[in-house]
Structure 1
Amino acid sequence: MTPSPRLPFFVYGTLRPGEPNHDAFLRGRTLVEEPARFGGAVLYDGPGYPYAVEEPGGAGTVRGDLVTARPEEYPALLTALDLLEEYAPGDPRNLYARVAREVIRDADGTAVQAWVYVAAPSVAARLRARGKLIEGGDWATRAG
């Protein structure tokens, strides 16, 4: 199996600064955390966490943060985030898929390849059919 590239992570839910999983998983393990956006996707509310659902060619944007891990922390952090997101390569029971996607830094508009945990295909289909869309694509500003 080919090792995964060491990409930064785009986080948009409970891993963002001020959210419950940020301190538990990211504090002290990152070099940089900066506001960013992920285009071609919309955000749905989940049971205490959101799902980004890709809409190729769509006008949606998900707001979040681009997180660059400390090199010495990267392998452990990748493993921890895969476990948190209940992601295992090739597992049909996955709720999320970890995919490399282009993310835009807010500060300078630079495009960066990053890991994004998006809703797995079966979850995405269910959310499109009957999920609760988070208007504006920002988990931090959701109602309720």
Structure 2
Amino acid sequence: MRTEELPFFVYGTLRPGAYNHDRFLLGRTGAEEDAVLPGALLHDGPGYPYAVPGEGRVTGTLVTAAPGTYGELLGVLDRVELPAGYERTAREALRTRDGAAVRAWVYVAAPGAPLGPVIESGDWFRRVPDGPRTP
């Protein structure tokens, strides 16, 4: 079965400036745009966050694969995210620059994921109680 070629909505360690961005995405993306994921809450996790359905919004980035790299990028992200307690699902994200709804793959918490406290800001880069953090 062929997987639909959608952009990816990333919201934690894969966002530009975070430690896994360059490790897994560098050279594989054609576009990266600020976006939000409505209808979701962000939970702290064991060094990375989990998005779950809920009354809120999660801040992140829409990542589009560079030409000819979609299959490679999908494979890399599935190998990284699925064993870490995520499942991939298609959701509508809102592009920040124009508010356009964009269908994208999102890795959300799988059943049994080790969810920590809700990150009230919905932004992994602005989580508390340890105070504001930068990537």
TM-score relative to the length of structure 1? 0.85
> Where does structure 1 lack aligned partners over 5 or more consecutive residues?
88-93
2:77 to 81, 97, 101: 81
1:133 to 100, 118, 135: 118
Aligned residue for 1:132, secondary structure, equals: coil
2:46 counterpart letter in structure 1:
P
2:61 to 62, 65, 74: 65
> Where does structure 2 lack aligned partners over 5 or more consecutive residues?
131-135
Measure, in 1, the Cα distance between the counterparts of 2:112 and 2:53. Answer: 12
Provide runs of 4+ in structure 1 moved above 2 Å: none
Q: Does 1:102 align with 2:92?
A: yes
What's the % identity of the aligned pairs? 58
Aligned residue for 2:70, secondary structure, equals: helix
Partner of 2:51: 52
Moved more, 78-87 or 11-20: 78-87
Aligned residue for 2:51, secondary structure, equals: strand
Measure, in 2, the Cα distance between the counterparts of 1:6 and 1:46. Answer: 28
Aligned residue for 2:73, secondary structure, equals: helix
Measure, in 2, the Cα distance between the counterparts of 1:73 and 1:54. Answer: 29
TM-score relative to the length of structure 2? 0.90
Aligned residue for 2:94, secondary structure, equals: strand
The Cα of 1:86 is off from its aligned counterpart by 2.6
| Count of aligned pairs between the two proteins | 129
RMSD: 1.3
2:102 to 103, 108, 112: 112
